[in-house]
């Protein structure tokens, strides 16, 4: 490859990395945790009373009571049947408010009546939202992350093209030593190249999920005569509901609906029943669930008439079209809905490695522009070093703070708000702190803060739910034990990073943004002696 | 680099839509290809955007991507005029 081409793509890689790196850091750090979404929900709800497992008859009574007491729910009502890990039957619908947002309504059976209390656990959902919005307002953040995926894709292509000429020389080269830039570059390359297929899949599937609708819209006008929903809906298991007939009719019992679904998709473990126009003669219900098949995607959907039980549509992974297999496979790869815990742990590690990739990319930019012969460093490198520290370390500290707030304030009705407040308070505070302090002092302070907040997670489990780590181990409460053990390991890692930053500031290269600032210099001015030692 | 990147990202999108649209019309007898073709939009978009950096001048890259888009949309319009639809 010609040198000028490599140089062009190095420039592209640099600027696309800078443009997308920090949003992607948040997406990957939060995403690594979202891999264990269900386990986080269990950790978060630990203090709540565990209900007895609900039956299908209970589910039917729940549906009947909800429709009786809240007829507005009939248009689009969801039933989450009792399952291991979710022992209660839960009915849910979303009310569109005047402001255009949706208000969630949850119902559970309580004796002969309905319990309308919302589960105030919010941590897992909030971290998931951080994953796909990076903390920006929901829809806007989703679209921004979609554009970031395009930039991410270009960064992957350009990074690979830059790396290709030295592929065999540099692939497993890790050269620690005095040349910090070389070391950061080697680790960046190793992580980037070895996890490249996974990153390609993530850029692709994330773009489809975030801005896929914008990909499709032009084709409706350009090439297709039929409605796209009609063209692809049934293929993807999204059969359109029928128009209401205006005549009431009783619903087929839940147990019977599940029996019919099992006949159409043998072995289906229903996770959701989605009713449309329940109570009307044209009511439909789509039963979503997983089937025991040896395919990447295991999700099936069976759409029935909710009043006659007639089968309207079946989407099954073994009978899916090439397009549905392609789409569902991409989504299954994104959400790691295959491979059990082994795949989840692999994704967790790759997620953290991805976050490191973006962090180290920004560090490389700073290191490449370092003035090696003078203490004063360019303003843009100081700015990026501060921003990178504030955003990345602030995000990690903020997430730890959200864990603490969710645990400590579990009895508060506004727990969800406090959980978000804790994250954004710490995140924005960290960002501000990184610009108030010198680069090394800001990074050191924030890493110590991060270590302290993270170390408090197991302490809060011991204090607020009486589950010290040894008890969760002895009682095999793995969700609590693993969170606590990982928190301790992460706290130690953050502490060691803080110590390393401090050591480098005191005794490392002085002509650097990471050097301890001297009196009289707000940034990096070293002593005269140090300057002589490092001409 | 900003102007270059805007050209790469923004102008490669209509070019991608035009190329995929043309492919969909050309293979209108094979409905099984519809969804896979639409799912290929992202890699084609990224590929076109990345390839546009190989053109030395921003203006030429913009002209080429615009040309591809216009030619593609013109061909789509012609096929639709002749009664072809996906």
B52-70 residue pLDDT tens: 999 989 999 999 999 999 9
Which residue, among A407, A385, A368, A501, has the nearest Cα to A447 in the 3D structure?
A501
> Tokens 């953290």 map to which residue?
A352
Helix, strand, or coil (residue A532)? helix
Interface of B with A (CB under 8 A): 1, 5, 8-9, 17, 20-21, 24-25, 32-36, 38-39, 41-43, 45-47, 49-50, 53-54, 73, 76, 80, 85-86
Largest Cα separation within chain B, whole Å, is 43
pLDDT band at A51, cuts 50/70/90? low
Residue-wise pLDDT for A190-215, tens only, equals 899 889 999 999 999 999 999 998 88
Inter-chain residue contact A16 with B5, CB threshold 8 Å: yes
Instruction: Lay out the sheet containing A299-305: strands in order across.
Output: A113-115, A102-110, A90-96, A76-80, A269-276, A284-290, A299-305, A311-315
Inter-chain residue contact A223 with B86, CB threshold 8 Å: yes
A154 min Cα distance to partner chain B (Å): 6
pLDDT band at B43, cuts 50/70/90? very high
Return the exposure string of A5-38: e unless at least 16 CB atoms fall within 10 Å of the residue's CB, then b: ebebbebbbbbbbbbbbbbbbbbbbbbbbbbbbe
> Tokens 């993270």 map to which residue?
A454
Nearest CB partner across the interface for B32, out of A147, A223, A323: A323
Inter-chain residue contact A208 with B39, CB threshold 8 Å: yes
pLDDT band at A55, cuts 50/70/90? confident
Between CA A259 and CA A56 the distance in angstroms is 11
Residue-wise pLDDT for A282-315, tens only, equals 999 999 999 999 888 899 999 999 999 999 989 9
A382 contacts A523 by C-beta, under 8 angstroms: yes
Mean pLDDT across chain A:
89
pLDDT at A181 (0 to 100): 79
Between CA A336 and CA A353 the distance in angstroms is 17
Q: Which residue of A has its CA nearest to B43?
A: A204
DSSP A278: T
**What separation, in Å, do the N-terminal and C-terminal C-alpha atoms of chain A show?**
36
pLDDT at A50 (0 to 100): 53
pLDDT at A149 (0 to 100): 95
A82 contacts A68 by C-beta, under 8 angstroms: no
Q: Strand A269-276 to strand A284-290: parallel, antiparallel, or no bridges (unpaired)?
A: antiparallel
Contact residues, chain B, for A5 at CB < 8 Å: 54
pLDDT band at A48, cuts 50/70/90? low
* Of A4 and A474, the one with more pLDDT: A474
ipTM: 0.93
pLDDT at A47 (0 to 100): 56
B69 contacts B15 by C-beta, under 8 angstroms: yes
Helix, strand, or coil (residue B82)? coil
């Amino acid at each position: 490859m010609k040198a000028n081409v490599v140089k062009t793509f190095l420039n592209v890689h640099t600027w696309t990395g800078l443009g997308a790196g920090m949003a992607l850091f948040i997406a990957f750090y939060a995403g690594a945790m979202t891999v264990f979404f269900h386990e986080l929900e269990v950790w978060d709800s630990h203090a709540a009373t565990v209900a007895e497992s609900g039956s299908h008859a209970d589910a039917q009574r729940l549906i009947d009571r909800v429709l009786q007491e809240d007829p507005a729910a009939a248009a689009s009502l969801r039933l989450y049947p009792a399952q291991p890990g979710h022992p209660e039957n839960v009915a849910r619908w979303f009310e569109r408010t005047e402001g255009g947002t949706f208000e969630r309504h949850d119902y559970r059976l309580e004796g002969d009546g309905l319990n309308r209390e919302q589960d105030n656990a919010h941590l897992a959902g909030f971290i998931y939202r951080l994953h796909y919005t990076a903390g920006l307002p929901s829809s806007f953040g989703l679209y921004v992350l979609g554009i970031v995926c395009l930039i991410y894709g270009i960064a992957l292509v350009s990074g690979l093209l830059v790396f290709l000429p030295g592929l065999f020389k540099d692939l497993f080269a890790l050269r620690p030593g005095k040349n910090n830039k070389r070391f950061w570059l080697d680790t960046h390359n190793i992580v980037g190249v070895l996890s490249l297929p996974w990153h390609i899949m993530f850029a692709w599937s994330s773009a489809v999920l975030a801005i896929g609708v914008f990909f499709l819209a032009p084709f409706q006008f350009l090439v297709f005569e039929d409605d796209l929903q009609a063209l692809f809906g049934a293929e993807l298991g999204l059969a359109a509901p029928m128009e209401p007939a205006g005549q009431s009719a009783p619903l087929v019992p839940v147990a019977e609906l599940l029996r019919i679904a099992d006949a159409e998709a043998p072995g289906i473990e229903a996770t959701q029943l989605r009713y449309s126009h329940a109570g009307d003669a044209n009511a439909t219900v789509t039963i979503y669930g997983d089937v025991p098949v040896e395919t990447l995607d295991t999700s099936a959907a069976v759409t029935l008439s909710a009043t006659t039980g007639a089968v309207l549509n079946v989407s099954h992974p073994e009978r899916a079209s090439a397009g549905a297999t392609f789409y569902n496979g991409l989504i299954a790869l994104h959400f790691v809905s295959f491979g059990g815990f082994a795949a989840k742990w692999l994704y967790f590690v790759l997620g953290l490695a991805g976050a490191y990739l973006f962090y180290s990319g920004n560090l490389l930019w700073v290191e490449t522009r370092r003035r090696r012969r003078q203490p004063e460093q360019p303003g843009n490198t100081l700015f990026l070093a501060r921003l990178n520290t504030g955003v990345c370390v602030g995000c990690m500290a903020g997430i730890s703070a959200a864990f603490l707030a969710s645990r400590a304030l579990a009895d508060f009705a506004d727990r969800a708000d406090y959980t978000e407040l804790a994250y954004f308070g710490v995140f924005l505070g960290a960002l501000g702190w990184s610009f108030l302090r010198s680069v090394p002092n800001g990074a050191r302070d924030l890493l110590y803060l991060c270590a302290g907040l993270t170390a408090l997670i197991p302490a809060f489990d011991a204090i607020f739910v009486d589950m010290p780590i040894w008890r969760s181990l002895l009682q095999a409460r793995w969700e609590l034990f693993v969170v606590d053990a990982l928190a301790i390991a992460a706290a130690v890692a953050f502490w060691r990073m803080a110590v390393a930053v401090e050591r480098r500031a005191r005794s490392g290269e002085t002509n650097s943004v990471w050097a301890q600032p001297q009196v009289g210099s707000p940034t990096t001015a070293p002593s005269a002696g140090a300057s002589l030692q490092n001409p | 680099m900003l102007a270059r990147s805007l050209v790469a990202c923004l102008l490669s999108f209509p070019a991608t839509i035009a190329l995929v649209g043309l492919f969909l019309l050309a293979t209108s007898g094979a409905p099984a290809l519809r969804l896979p073709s639409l799912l290929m939009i992202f890699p084609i978009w990224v590929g076109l955007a990345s390839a546009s950096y190989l053109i030395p001048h921003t203006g030429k890259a913009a002209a080429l991507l615009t040309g591809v888009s216009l030619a593609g949309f013109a061909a789509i319009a012609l096929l639709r005029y002749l009664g072809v639809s996906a």
